[in-house]
Amino acid sequence: MTLLVEDLVAGYGDARVLHGVSLSVGEGEICAILGPNGAGKTTLLRALSGMVRARGRVALGGTALTGRSPDAIARHGVAHVPEGRGTFMSLTVEENLRLGAFVRRGRAAIEADLDRIHTYFPALKTRLKQAAGSLSGGEQQMLAIGRALMLRPRLLLLDEPSLGLAPLVTRELFRIVQAINAEERTTVVVVEQNAHLALGIAQQAHVLETGRIVLSGTAERIRADEQVAQSYLGYRV
Ligand SMILES: Nc1ncnc2c1ncn2[C@@H]1O[C@H](COP(=O)(O)OP(=O)(O)OP(=O)(O)O)[C@@H](O)[C@H]1O
Ligand SMILES: [Mg+2]
């Protein structure tokens, strides 16, 4: 579904972090959010999923989400894979996956979705009864995304999925995200330090700096513009 964000203002207590962020992501598109540490990328995702209070307007498929509770937003199909993954380490893989469906009813559909997730992440299938804490970093990130998919999301928010993972694992993960986006038509907003990877799967990108979008464009254009990459991202993409 189309995500529309208008003039979003958010922060923590008196500290304002986002100073009026506006963007839109078309149905079934992947949008990358880039920017330096502390820019407000995580806060933006938290504002979209209702985890921090925000003013402004957020709408998904025409339904206003601003000011709603996190579980009401989840019920509307927004799944957030947070920074650090948010996996429950002492629960099993299967328990973590089932938690992802907490707002859903319909047992048969949930069972079918567990199977569907195993087709994206075959590595999880053989580890269902294992504690999530015993998985490798890459497997834990796959579990976190698998859990998000159990919500049947219309909008998937990914916060630094590549953090701490080896390049090969990261590439595999991004390939799977791309497959999910293509097959389920899930709209994706991905925050990523690895600009090269994110721009490789996104259609459009925004660069966030101290709570403001300082650059927006097609992923192709941003990737092609080395000067832009160096001045805004502080490194080469
Ligand atoms: N829970 C919190 N309470 C108070 N301030 C916070 C909290 N979380 C983040 N901040 C502050 O908000 C600002 C933006 O942080 P945020 O985590 O959104 O940045 P980020 O772009 O995700 O950075 P990083 O790339 O390091 O993950 C920072 O100044 C940070 O210190
Ligand atoms: Mg962050």
pLDDT of residue 193: 86
Minimum CA distance residue for ligand 1 atom 5: 12
pLDDT of residue 233: 65
38 lines ligand 1 (CB under 6 A): yes
What does each of the 237 residues of the chain score in pLDDT, given as a tens digit? 899 999 999 999 999 999 999 999 999 999 999 998 999 999 999 999 999 999 999 999 999 999 999 999 999 999 999 988 888 999 999 999 999 988 777 888 889 999 999 999 999 999 999 999 999 999 999 999 999 999 999 999 999 999 989 999 999 999 999 999 999 999 999 999 888 899 999 999 999 999 999 999 999 998 887 666 666 666 554
For residue 131, the 8-state DSSP code is B
pLDDT of residue 226: 67
* Token output for 156: 């998937």
Q: What is the pTM of this model?
A: 0.95
Residues 115-145: tens digit of each pLDDT = 999 999 999 999 999 999 999 999 999 999 9
pLDDT of residue 188: 98
Q: Which atom from ligand 1 is nearest to the alpha carbon of 11?
A: 12
What's the gap in Å between 118 CA and the centre of ligand 1?
34
pLDDT of residue 223: 86
For the segment(s) 3-233, the CATH number from 3.40.50.300, 3.40.250.10, 3.40.190.10, 3.30.1050.10 is: 3.40.50.300
pLDDT of residue 231: 67
Domain residue extents for the chain: 3-233
Minimum CA distance residue for ligand 1 atom 16: 40
What's the gap in Å between 46 CA and the centre of ligand 2?
10
3 lines ligand 1 (CB under 6 A): no
Half-sphere exposure of residue 54: CA atoms within 13 angstroms, side-chain side: 34
* Token output for 6: 């208008």
pLDDT of residue 34: 93
41 lines ligand 1 (CB under 6 A): yes
Q: DSSP letters along 44-96, please?
A: HHHHHTTSS-EEEEEEETTEE-TT--HHHHHHTTEEEE-TT----TTSBHHHH
- Residue of 93, 67, 58 lying closest to 189 (CA atoms): 58
**Distance between CA atoms of residues 232 and 12, nearest Å:** 25
What's the gap in Å between 135 CA and the centre of ligand 2?
23
Residues 211-230: tens digit of each pLDDT = 999 999 999 998 887 666 66
Q: Which atom from ligand 1 is nearest to the alpha carbon of 46?
A: 18
What's the gap in Å between 12 CA and the centre of ligand 1?
9
